[in-house]
A and B are shown apart, each in its own frame.
Chain A
Amino acid sequence: MARFAAIKTEKEKTEELKQESYKYGFSMPENYAFKSKKGLNEEVIRMISKMKDEPEWMLKRRLEAYKLFLKREMPNWGADLSKINFDEVYYYIKPSSGQEKDWKDVPKEIKDTYDKLGIPEAEKEYLGGVKAQYESEVVYGSLKESLVKQGILFMGMDEALKKHPEIVAEYFGKVVGGGDNKFASLNTAVWSGGSFIYIPKGVKVELPLQAYFRINAANMGQFERTMIIVDEGAYVHYVEGCTAPIYSTDSLHAAVVEIFVKKNARCRYTTIQNWSTNVYNLVTKRAWVEENGIMEWVDGNLGSKVTMKYPSVILAGDGARGEILSVAVGGKDQHQDAGGKCIHLAKNTSSRIISKSISLNGGRASYRGMVQINKGAKNSRSKVVCDALILDKDSRSDTYPVNKISESDVTLEHEATVSKIGEEQLFYLMSRGFEEHEAEAMIVNGFVEPIVKELPMEYAVELNRLIGLQMEGSVG
């Protein structure tokens, strides 16, 4: 680009990118309670389970999944995963002795991290509850007193397995099985941390519940497991954010999220993923939706080296609805392979996928999605809109839509556009006094606006700011 301004040298650009684009790249000293050796084998898994003092059935599930993990080939249909070396990963790091309810009890280095990320402040201002996971464990947790009184459960998965083993046993692995895919198997084998949420019948949680995931150590593998159960007629909005330091070696994040939306219930799950660009982010997220239930995934992927993530909804009850809003920004050395899946099993179900992908600075952003309507899912509707914006000639965008329709009485719509930022558009905005990168950011923010407007204001501002930062390094 640089049609309007002096071209910056490659070096200047790299420096700028380092300094400005990713302000979460700092790391803290490791004063950990426990750090496993690199690499994975049965012993490591038994050790994790033992340290957590888990019931026997969970260890069994872990070991079964580990066998499946070893058996399965690396997926080769999406992003390039050939550089992942499973022997170089730390599979379990226990950062502190336990989970705290008060920030002042959290070890200083860890608390400093969350202070820099602004979490305690956000908690005071607009959140109903917070979980903070550092490496493998949840180090801090809070839930507003009023929500506790209504019977809402919001805790770490490990804590839930101890306090509510019957609920965990009932739902664990129900929508994402231990053999679902290689990384779901890996997660099932070594999972640690993650959120557990139960919203009782008819309870509507107005303020979002937020979890914050942070990787600190180099070569860390984070494998949190999240389970959300929204009982009949209830509502919850769960938000997660993720960051990590910049390292020259790669880290791995392979989470599993299972959600159960009961009759007439609604769940909204918002992710602002901003991992540093040395993280492989390979996540399986799926929701099971019953009669007239609503599941909404709002998925923002800005960071990571490689992301492969396709939040899914299984519309199992009559009239169930699923919505997936996905924004992916693929910058320098990044490949975002994102999208969504909607599987219609029941009558009168409806789904919508809106995907907006942006590629710049030689990055790549792909949309990969599937709509499946089974026989008998009469009068079902699905709409897929995927728009791509390519900022320069070195960047790439791909679309891989799949439709599997086995019922004739359905409506299916698909729209796709690919656009580039035109010189005329840039000139027009610049002639109003905006610098080139500001003008570009305006166009890009406008492009993602249909999704950003769905976010609570604080997150919308954050998303726009993050995109703006990506753009600042983009001149050239």
Chain B
Amino acid sequence: MLQISNLSVLIEEKQILTGLGLEIKPGEVHAIMGPNGSGKSTLAYALAGHPKYEISDVRSRMSDVGVSIKIDGEEISEASPDERSKKGLYLATQYPMAVPGLTTMNFLWQIYKTRNMIHETRFMNKTEDKKPITLVEFRKWMEAQAKQLGLKPELLKRGLNDGFSGGEKKKTEVLQMLVSKPKYIILDEIDSGLDVDALKKIALTVAKMAKEEKVGVLVITHYSRILKYLVPDRVHVVKNGQIVAEGGLELVDEIETSGFKVKEN
């Protein structure tokens, strides 16, 4: 379970999130919705351990529980981004960075190799297709995955995200996600700037991971359209750095019709 308790976050001493709490069980899909500037992306970066996002231990009126982020019972709120990643957290960011000269395929292979070492047993999961072992096998597997996502395999020979279009970057995030074998995925507005086709492919890939591999998903979005394919078990509305409403799918419809002026609970 991914447990977030009483999470307050500061950016350059300005408070963005206040006492946020959330629990995501393996295989569950949670959606975070909210207007611009509500703190949605801050939540994503703070969870992944970006150094600019300072986690602070503010005890609020509501709760005197200390701040905590736990992955399957392990505290990670002070861990570095790579440690969090190794513990199974994956952030698909809204703005993937370009690294010229770092071949995308090579990068994916590097991720795959580290993961193989960490979670050998998970990779050997019998219910999955036989997983590639050599670089040649891996390359074939990646190219097939890229095609399925509608990404030209030739692109994998280029520098990571270097000169990629918005859609190509997002699809590359999904490829990295596949090789990372995460336990919990955070999608930070992955739907922004995507056409319907690409959106559908990405959403269905994630939904499949949630269903078949029991991956917990936190999908952060402005819009409901991604949630048609990646159906949330639970919806949270964030405003001014706090969760102001929670519910099921019906909350999505409510937002669709009346915007973020949902009834706060």
Write the nearest CB–CB distance from B97 to chain A, whole angstroms. Answer: 4
- The 8 Å CB contact of A434, one of B51, B52, B82, B93, is B82
Known: A427-B51, A434-B114. A449 touches B85 (CB 8 A): no
Bitwise, B37-55 to A at CB < 8 A (1) or not (0) is 0000000000011111000
- The 8 Å CB contact of B176, one of A422, A432, A435, is A432
Q: Which of A1-20 touch B at CB < 8 Å? A: 3-5
A4 x B81 contact (CB < 8 A) = yes
**B139 on the A face (CB < 8 A):** no
**A447 on the B face (CB < 8 A):** yes
**Which residues of the other chain, A, contact B86 by a CB distance below 8 angstroms?**
433
**A443 on the B face (CB < 8 A):** yes
A442 x B180 contact (CB < 8 A) = no
- The 8 Å CB contact of B102, one of A5, A430, A445, is A445
B101 x A445 contact (CB < 8 A) = yes
B101 x A450 contact (CB < 8 A) = yes
CA distance A433 to B112 in the complex (A): 10
**A168 on the B face (CB < 8 A):** no
Bitwise, B216-252 to A at CB < 8 A (1) or not (0) is 0000000000000000000000000000000000000
- The 8 Å CB contact of A4, one of B51, B90, B97, is B51
CA distance A210 to B93 in the complex (A): 47
CA distance A442 to B176 in the complex (A): 16
Q: Which of B146-201 touch A at CB < 8 Å? A: 159-160, 176, 180
**A76 on the B face (CB < 8 A):** no
CA distance A442 to B107 in the complex (A): 9
Q: Which of B97-137 touch A at CB < 8 Å? A: 97, 99-103, 107, 110-111, 114-115, 118
The total of interchain contacts (Cβ-Cβ below 8 angstroms) comes to 85
A448 x B82 contact (CB < 8 A) = no
Please, which residue of chain B has its CB at the minimum distance from the CB of A434? Answer: B82
B81 x A425 contact (CB < 8 A) = no
CA distance A448 to B100 in the complex (A): 10
Bitwise, B75-100 to A at CB < 8 A (1) or not (0) is 00000111011100011010111011
**A86 on the B face (CB < 8 A):** no
**A413 on the B face (CB < 8 A):** no
B101 x A430 contact (CB < 8 A) = no
**Which residues of the other chain, B, contact A427 by a CB distance below 8 angstroms?**
48, 50-51, 81
Secondary structure call for the A interface: helix
**A446 on the B face (CB < 8 A):** yes
Please, which residue of chain B has its CB at the minimum distance from the CB of A6? Answer: B80
- The 8 Å CB contact of A431, one of B91, B107, B114, B160, is B91
A446 x B80 contact (CB < 8 A) = no
> Total interface residues on A, using CB and 8 Å?
27
Please, which residue of chain A has its CB at the minimum distance from the CB of B115? Answer: A433
B101 x A5 contact (CB < 8 A) = no
**Which residues of the other chain, A, contact B102 by a CB distance below 8 angstroms?**
442-443, 445-446, 449
- The 8 Å CB contact of A432, one of B101, B103, B111, B118, is B111
Please, which residue of chain B has its CB at the minimum distance from the CB of A444? Answer: B101
A443 x B49 contact (CB < 8 A) = no
**Which residues of the other chain, A, contact B99 by a CB distance below 8 angstroms?**
425, 428-429, 442-443, 446
**A424 on the B face (CB < 8 A):** yes
**A125 on the B face (CB < 8 A):** no
A428 x B82 contact (CB < 8 A) = no
**Which residues of the other chain, B, contact A443 by a CB distance below 8 angstroms?**
99, 102
CA distance A4 to B119 in the complex (A): 24
- The 8 Å CB contact of A446, one of B50, B51, B100, is B100
Known A429-B97, A438-B82; further 6 A-B contacts with Cβ < 8 A: A4-B82, A430-B82, A430-B85, A432-B85, A432-B107, A448-B101
Report which B residues bind A (CB closer than 8 A).
48-52, 80-82, 84-86, 90-91, 93, 95-97, 99-103, 107, 110-111, 114-115, 118, 159-160, 176, 180
Query: Sorted from nearest, which 6 A-B pairs have the closest CB atoms?
Result: A446-B101, A449-B101, A446-B102, A433-B85, A430-B81, A428-B97
Q: List 19 A-B contacts (CB under 8 A).
A: A3-B51, A4-B80, A4-B81, A424-B95, A427-B48, A427-B51, A429-B97, A430-B49, A431-B84, A432-B85, A433-B82, A434-B114, A436-B82, A442-B102, A443-B102, A445-B101, A445-B102, A446-B159, A449-B101
